[in-house]
Structure 1
């Protein structure tokens, strides 16, 4: 096909077909390159422009995505998906002030009221008009953003205190996400949990003692790692840390994962010599430089919650790393993960069902505790419930731990959040709000629905000094 593409340099259909082929093979960067070539050849194709906007969004290139969506609308003012794509981008970048002009443009260009009701519902939800937003969502056709619409309805029902209806709606939204999904998210999630269980059996003193002792002398300071089960307040924490002038926060980016893949997994750690560790560190810092360049003296915070089960790798490559562990009541965490609309990588796919989410929680912390017993890392816990009660009291000791001078600007996390642009985590809207306590203890309203998984979580509830109100002694 590549030869045909070169032989017919004005034909956009051939690189577009190559783009579709690469997409089926999950070769994202090559797919995007082929699509760009198709657009270059046929710049007036609204369909190609729309696909390009979507792919830029996948790559988190928000400025490019917005320009491509607007170009699509210019080429085809009736392209509904372009308006929806822009609305979703505005939602995730907390630019709710853009909803009004977008709705007005869509109406002017003849977009029907029923699909446009989805954007209007987002606007009303941001304004706190939850009943009105529900009414709008009821107008949205079933083929317009079905998963996002179902999830938005569930969040509104939760905010209105209609707990049983909300739980049913979240369940239905999650079923839509995995039902007939060609990427088999439930199978991928199961395979990851099986891999973690296998790794836990490897974490023994004998394995640790087989490691070759090496000295690291490249002069580069080790990163700080911010870990913790998803929905434990890690996005709030990283936003607070971003507010300090001497920190650079890298949020859920792949350098450490790429290094682990190149090594062949944690089973390869024992066989690493000084040259292998030096190369792995070089690879990591080179990728970081491409994503989040550091100025001299700045502290790198690598935030990725589920590095919770990457402690052996962190200790092998970065033995002086400081680690921030975010903690929150296990029931609140698992419920919140079940309620979140994540991109379905192999880890997040476990949150489509409560039982899978609880199993992953148990495995992740078993992995963490087994690893911590072997590698006494320098760990500072941050407890979500204390954080939302008194931010400064919980954060000041953290800054001492990180050897950072206190800066009052870190307390203005809402301003920091709004300056971030696109926020890719499920907490994108919450971190722009003032600190609130409504999510602490929310699980108790859903206790009956959580009952099947509480036995799995109960050992961790006790381990982290939480309680199960109403439990008989």
Structure 2
């Protein structure tokens, strides 16, 4: 005799597989209160698929309580709660699912999405990386894990998650925009553009605003890589009239479009137009990242117009927005006495315990370009990269990554550098060059240029691995450095906190250089000081001195750095536009226009100003 329940379940399964969710729900109603587990599960999935989230929550809650040992029901309950907007209930359900099935990648992924929704970025990063560990081919988990790493400024984790992303299936437009942004920060412009070209657009009213957002991002990518003609072509697909015509709830598309137009206006020197566009963005209800970006843009345009008071007011708004972002990632650094810069030192007694080891010669070692950010390190890097003997790899934190890897295996940095034997140091060098190889697979016999300003804080690691390395310390008037840092939108949450006030930034600057000078006394490295203001006055003489320091016979290719920079696919630092235009005398003593703001920190800076050879 036919089993009515079995027939009903079979009919529901057929409707579900055919995508007819309304029929699934209609059939489920026939079971009434006698619905069995299979019927309830299909009904819940159909309710969720049709946006009946309240009903889906009740259905999956009933199943989870009937079968608490089945992780899938807790997982489905968590997803339904998240879609309904109840993140707390979603977290509770998914945490229960995780306790039942701790290695289920889908459960971990869904819990990670809840943490993203709650903007608990460190937790999201941790749980999503676990999901990828459980299922390395889980593309959606890799993308969201990369995004959490991106927000947390974990560049190494982000790159690992995005390995092979160019071969991923085409992504929905929202995810494609995120993925393209991350790929661009890694310098992979082609992959970013490829991702946008394949973005899957929905057949809904969202289609048009997503098309505009994609055009805006393409314009920004081209501007960011100094392809200005291509950027202007993209703007033709993004007319201001179309942005104005968007509905009131399209703030994100409108903001991204206005920012793209403003970026090109800045490059064209029409700073008043740029300022007006940035002000329009700031009048919208947008997230902290968009507000910070627009406020930094407004500050730059006002600075170019000589409106220093307006520029500083815009900077206050920018840093307030960035503190909102940092609070979600590094809340511990918001304490007034926190130290955003990681400072670790080796004293003379500890250095005396270092056992002598065989080390590469100076020509076999990287050339390290260091200095506080915004001191001219990118300019020098492009000069060196223009020489056929050298290859730079943009700005990478590989030396810092080695210090973290020591800590992860229980070796305290820098204390246990003294205990490392030759084999262990060789392993660290090999790890370093593996990371380099992912960026410069064709390094070959070229000499590597490792430009990372804050490697100045990692001198112990540099001296343990490459004690014969040549190091170039970039210097610039401290006040010009701090002004430039204040006007830049840094991605690192720690640097967002450091730059949040001029007082805090000045303390960080002094701390960094005090540590540098103490470590130079301990290690006596081979260092050349490269002073920005002197280079501006006499480039040829300083290039000759640099060539001699680096044992290079011909300095002339370095003088053609601006032409070389224009051929680069991507320059990650905020100087990406300036280095294509040659030496900038106008960057000297910019801080004089902001003397009123600097007066309170000059007493703190003055000893270092004097020590570095600058006067007020």
Using the size of structure 2 for normalisation, the TM-score is: 0.68
1:83 equivalent in alignment to 2:215:
yes
Which residue pairs with 1:11 in the alignment?
A: none
Q: Provide the rounded CA distance (Å) in 2 between the counterparts of 1:349 and 1:420.
A: 31
Q: Provide the rounded CA distance (Å) in 2 between the counterparts of 1:137 and 1:316.
A: 47
Aligned length: 454
1:318 equivalent in alignment to 2:466:
yes
1:147 equivalent in alignment to 2:295:
no
Comparing 358-367 with 19-28, greater Cα deviation is found at 19-28
Q: C-alpha offsets along residues 253-295 of structure 1, whole Å, 9 cap, x if unaligned?
A: 1332222222222122111111211211121122222222455
Q: Provide the rounded CA distance (Å) in 1 between the counterparts of 2:426 and 2:392.
A: 23
Q: C-alpha offsets along residues 86-129 of structure 1, whole Å, 9 cap, x if unaligned?
A: 23222321222223211211239944465433322222211111
Decide whether aligned partners of structure 1 residues 73 and 459 sit closer, same or farther in structure 2, where only a CA change above 3 A counts.
farther
Which residue pairs with 1:304 in the alignment?
A: 452
Comparing 177-186 with 84-93, greater Cα deviation is found at 177-186
1:327 equivalent in alignment to 2:469:
no
- Return the offset for 1:63: 1.1
Which residue pairs with 1:350 in the alignment?
A: 498
Q: Provide the rounded CA distance (Å) in 2 between the counterparts of 1:231 and 1:293.
A: 28
- Return the offset for 1:366: 1.1
- Return the offset for 1:332: 0.9
1:444 equivalent in alignment to 2:444:
no
Decide whether aligned partners of structure 1 residues 211 and 151 sit closer, same or farther in structure 2, where only a CA change above 3 A counts.
same
Decide whether aligned partners of structure 1 residues 132 and 21 sit closer, same or farther in structure 2, where only a CA change above 3 A counts.
closer
| Counterpart contact for 1:244–1:409, Cα < 8 Å | yes
Q: Provide the rounded CA distance (Å) in 1 between the counterparts of 2:593 and 2:506.
A: 18
- Return the offset for 1:143: 4.0
1:465 equivalent in alignment to 2:597:
no
Which residue pairs with 2:116 in the alignment?
A: none
Q: Provide the rounded CA distance (Å) in 2 between the counterparts of 1:130 and 1:109.
A: 20
Q: Provide the rounded CA distance (Å) in 2 between the counterparts of 1:109 and 1:64.
A: 30
Q: Among 97, 105, 114, which residue is 1:2 paired with?
A: 105
Which residue pairs with 1:120 in the alignment?
A: 261
The within-5 A match list for 1:272-283 is 272-283=420-431
Q: Provide the rounded CA distance (Å) in 2 between the counterparts of 1:177 and 1:379.
A: 35
SS at match of 1:453: helix
Q: Provide the rounded CA distance (Å) in 2 between the counterparts of 1:382 and 1:218.
A: 22
Which residue pairs with 1:99 in the alignment?
A: 231
Q: Among 370, 380, 388, which residue is 1:237 paired with?
A: 380
Comparing 89-98 with 209-218, greater Cα deviation is found at 209-218
SS at match of 2:600: coil
Q: Among 187, 212, 225, which residue is 2:333 paired with?
A: 187
| Counterpart contact for 1:243–1:410, Cα < 8 Å | yes
Q: Provide the rounded CA distance (Å) in 2 between the counterparts of 1:36 and 1:434.
A: 34
Which of these two proteins has the greater Rg computed from alpha carbons? 2
Q: Provide the rounded CA distance (Å) in 2 between the counterparts of 1:195 and 1:458.
A: 23
Which residue pairs with 2:270 in the alignment?
A: 129
1:60 equivalent in alignment to 2:206:
no
Which residue pairs with 2:17 in the alignment?
A: none
| Counterpart contact for 2:488–2:574, Cα < 8 Å | yes
| Counterpart contact for 2:366–2:449, Cα < 8 Å | yes
1:224 equivalent in alignment to 2:327:
no
Comparing 451-460 with 365-374, greater Cα deviation is found at 451-460
| Counterpart contact for 2:544–2:555, Cα < 8 Å | no
Decide whether aligned partners of structure 1 residues 112 and 375 sit closer, same or farther in structure 2, where only a CA change above 3 A counts.
same
Which residue pairs with 2:304 in the alignment?
A: 159
Q: Among 164, 170, 173, which residue is 2:315 paired with?
A: 170
- Return the offset for 1:219: 11
Decide whether aligned partners of structure 1 residues 21 and 383 sit closer, same or farther in structure 2, where only a CA change above 3 A counts.
closer
1:28 equivalent in alignment to 2:28:
no
Q: Provide the rounded CA distance (Å) in 2 between the counterparts of 1:454 and 1:218.
A: 42
| Counterpart contact for 1:15–1:34, Cα < 8 Å | no
- Return the offset for 1:347: 4.1
Q: Among 72, 82, 90, which residue is 2:199 paired with?
A: 72
Comparing 311-320 with 52-61, greater Cα deviation is found at 52-61
Which residue pairs with 2:398 in the alignment?
A: 255
The within-5 A match list for 1:197-208 is 199-200=344-345, 203-208=346-351
| Counterpart contact for 2:193–2:218, Cα < 8 Å | yes
| Counterpart contact for 1:328–1:383, Cα < 8 Å | yes
Which residue pairs with 2:98 in the alignment?
A: none
Q: Provide the rounded CA distance (Å) in 2 between the counterparts of 1:218 and 1:405.
A: 18
Decide whether aligned partners of structure 1 residues 16 and 194 sit closer, same or farther in structure 2, where only a CA change above 3 A counts.
closer
Comparing 429-438 with 183-192, greater Cα deviation is found at 183-192
Decide whether aligned partners of structure 1 residues 453 and 218 sit closer, same or farther in structure 2, where only a CA change above 3 A counts.
closer
| Counterpart contact for 2:319–2:496, Cα < 8 Å | no
Q: Provide the rounded CA distance (Å) in 1 between the counterparts of 2:535 and 2:421.
A: 41
Decide whether aligned partners of structure 1 residues 34 and 112 sit closer, same or farther in structure 2, where only a CA change above 3 A counts.
farther
Q: Provide the rounded CA distance (Å) in 2 between the counterparts of 1:33 and 1:387.
A: 40
Which residue pairs with 1:361 in the alignment?
A: 509
SS at match of 1:229: coil
- Return the offset for 1:18: 6.9
Q: Which has the higher contact order (CA 8 A, sep 6+)?
A: 1
- Return the offset for 1:21: 6.0
| Counterpart contact for 1:185–1:346, Cα < 8 Å | no
| Counterpart contact for 1:323–1:379, Cα < 8 Å | yes
| Counterpart contact for 1:188–1:346, Cα < 8 Å | no
Which residue pairs with 1:9 in the alignment?
A: none
